[in-house]
Amino acid sequence: MPLQCMSNAVSLVTFLVSATVSATTGYAVSRLSQTIQDRKASYRWRLAIVSEIRTLRTRLAQYETEFEQRVVTGEISGSQVLRVLLPPGDISVFTHSAASIGLFGTRTALRVLRFYADVRTLQGHALILAEVASKSDAPPRESDILQHRTMLQRCQRRAQILVRRLRGEVGALWILRALWIRETSSRGLTAHFRSSPRREGS
């Protein structure tokens, strides 16, 4: 009888240990899988926002050329140029995913917010200049042109800084992703990364 009780106790302990190990392993795998998914989402969003800022930087350079050649002379309004070069769809990544700004560090997040705020301010100022010019039937005043040019240069400067900064962050994240794949390959979790985008070319 004592031997049977001891055998039952050992079986119970074995069962409890097995159940505990199984639950712990399942939880660990679940947490690891969630971490991988979060890293994938962060990686993809950062690539998207870098691509969008680079596009905006190019469009701002084009706007600068048009501004100096056609807007200053009164041939066309700045708001008309911006409507063509910076349509609403060109800032869709930030507009639809602003909550993801927390994926960046505090300083980088503030830089991103300031850049997009400056772009909006530039668009608004161009619209004001266009309305004033249409009412007075004359080219913009020199003081307004200087102010608008300063706004444009600030946007371009912020875009340049952001592209360099975010490119470095995405590069570091790509390295971490590669290391993560190597560490998890023995656990059969590399399938989670098969659909991840490759590193964007400089």
What's the pLDDT tens digit per position in 108-150?
889 999 999 999 999 888 888 888 877 777 777 888 889 999 9
pTM of the model: 0.65
Domain that holds residue 78: 32-193
What is the four-CA torsion angle of 117, 123, 127, 129, rounded to 10 degrees? 90
- Whose structure tokens read 């079986």? 11
Pull the structure tokens for residue 64. 């600068």
In a domain, 1, yes or no: no
- Number of helices (H), then strands (E), belonging to the chain: the values are 5, 0
* Percent residues over pLDDT 90 in the chain: 16
Average pLDDT rounded to a whole number, residues 171-195 = 55
Pull the structure tokens for residue 23. 């639950």
Q: What's residue 201's pLDDT?
A: 44
Number of domains in the chain: 1
Q: Is 200 left (phi over 0), alpha (psi -120 to 50) or beta?
A: beta
Does residue 202 have a pLDDT over 50?
Answer: no
In a domain, 134, yes or no: yes
In a domain, 89, yes or no: yes
Average pLDDT rounded to a whole number, residues 58-72 = 88
In a domain, 141, yes or no: yes
* Lowest mean per-residue pLDDT among 43-47, 62-66, 116-120: 43-47
In a domain, 111, yes or no: yes
In a domain, 22, yes or no: no
In a domain, 8, yes or no: no
In a domain, 40, yes or no: yes
